[in-house]
Amino acid sequence: MEHFICPVCGENLILGDKVYECINHHTYNLAKSGYVNLLRSQRSSEKRHGDDKMMIRARSAFLEKGHYAPLLEGIVAECDRLQVKMLHLTDIGCGEGWYTDKIFTHLRENGHIVQIEGIDISKDAVSAAAKRNPYIAAAVASVACLPIKSESCDMLLNLFAPFDVGEFARILKSGGIWLKAIPLERHLYGLKAAIYDNPYENKVAVEQYEGFELVRRTDIRDKLTLRGEDISNLFRMTPYFYKTSAADQQKLENAEVLETEIEFAILIYQKKSFHHRETTK
């Protein structure tokens, strides 16, 4: 199974003994935990990005408790619509691969033959994803330059993560699905209200993208009542923790109970086929 293409020459990478190699002898070692670094650009602006170990640990612990189960159910329901037995999925901005693993396992249990990659700019994240499930081919790469063969994917998972419309259109098959999950207006409003004097609602932009058709939107809303380490894990997995002063951080660290809304949208974009493009001109 060929998961990746060479970021230098674009040829397929073949996995040998702990090393990926292309026909032009560009080689990429597999790290001990099982991921490969295919990040072409080492620009410092890209190096700085990506989630750190603390954020990753907090998110793993929080997700493991099932607090975002309604979202996972919504994503799984979309995957169940895929009719093909052999599926190629790539999770872009996969983080530590919690959803990647759950979706892979669900599809396999339902009789699909699944090829799956997890891509993230954070080494710590892909390292955790590779450890979580050895069937996930995990690579460090940027969304702007994906080491994935053109027109090869049936579905892209893209959950609370950056996207690149041109790259997504390139790697998806015609008619392929880009599943995008975004937070809605009042997602985590209770958490923000516990920290800030003037909490604000999230800005939500549901857009049309060239080459894609937005075929479905599913909104998911729920309320959580959290205690103890669930509160600090949720806080630490959000950007708010890093943007908040030590004094304000303390407000949540001392809270015994936190009630908050969770609100997501699952957006399904389908790559237009050439035929469709002609008919819509």
Ligand X SMILES: C[S@@+](CC[C@H](N)C(=O)[O-])C[C@H]1O[C@@H](n2cnc3c(N)ncnc32)[C@H](O)[C@@H]1O
Judged by the rule CB under 5 A, the positions of this chain that interact with Zn ion are: 6, 8-9, 22, 24, 26
> Choosing among ligand X, Zn ion, none, which partner's interface includes residue 27 (Cβ < 5 to 8 Å by kind)?
none
Q: Which is nearer to Zn ion, 14 or 84 (CB)?
A: 14
> Choosing among Zn ion, ligand X, none, which partner's interface includes residue 276 (Cβ < 5 to 8 Å by kind)?
none
> Choosing among Zn ion, ligand X, none, which partner's interface includes residue 143 (Cβ < 5 to 8 Å by kind)?
ligand X
As measured in angstroms, the least distance from the Cβ of 11 to Zn ion is: 5
Q: Which is nearer to ligand X, 51 or 154 (CB)?
A: 51
As measured in angstroms, the least distance from the Cβ of 248 to ligand X is: 21
As measured in angstroms, the least distance from the Cβ of 103 to ligand X is: 11
For 220, the token pair is 């998911």
Helices (runs of H) and strands (runs of E) counted in the chain: 11, 11
**Contact present, 39 and 173 (Cβ < 8 Å):** no
Q: Which is nearer to ligand X, 120 or 154 (CB)?
A: 120
Q: How far is CA 226 from the centre of its chain?
A: 24
> Choosing among Zn ion, ligand X, none, which partner's interface includes residue 50 (Cβ < 5 to 8 Å by kind)?
ligand X
**Contact present, 65 and 131 (Cβ < 8 Å):** no
**What distance in Å separates the CA atoms of residue 105 and residue 230, rounded to the nearest whole number?**
25
b/e 196-210 (16+ beta carbons within 10 angstroms → b): eeeeeeeeeeeeebe
Give the footprint of ligand X on this chain (CB under 6 A).
Answer: 49-51, 59, 93-95, 98-99, 120-122, 125, 142-143, 159-162
**Contact present, 19 and 29 (Cβ < 8 Å):** yes
* Coil vs helix vs strand at 278: helix
Q: Which is nearer to ligand X, 174 or 218 (CB)?
A: 218
Q: Which is nearer to ligand X, 50 or 190 (CB)?
A: 50
> Choosing among ligand X, Zn ion, none, which partner's interface includes residue 6 (Cβ < 5 to 8 Å by kind)?
Zn ion
Cα dihedral 191, 193, 194, 195 sign: positive
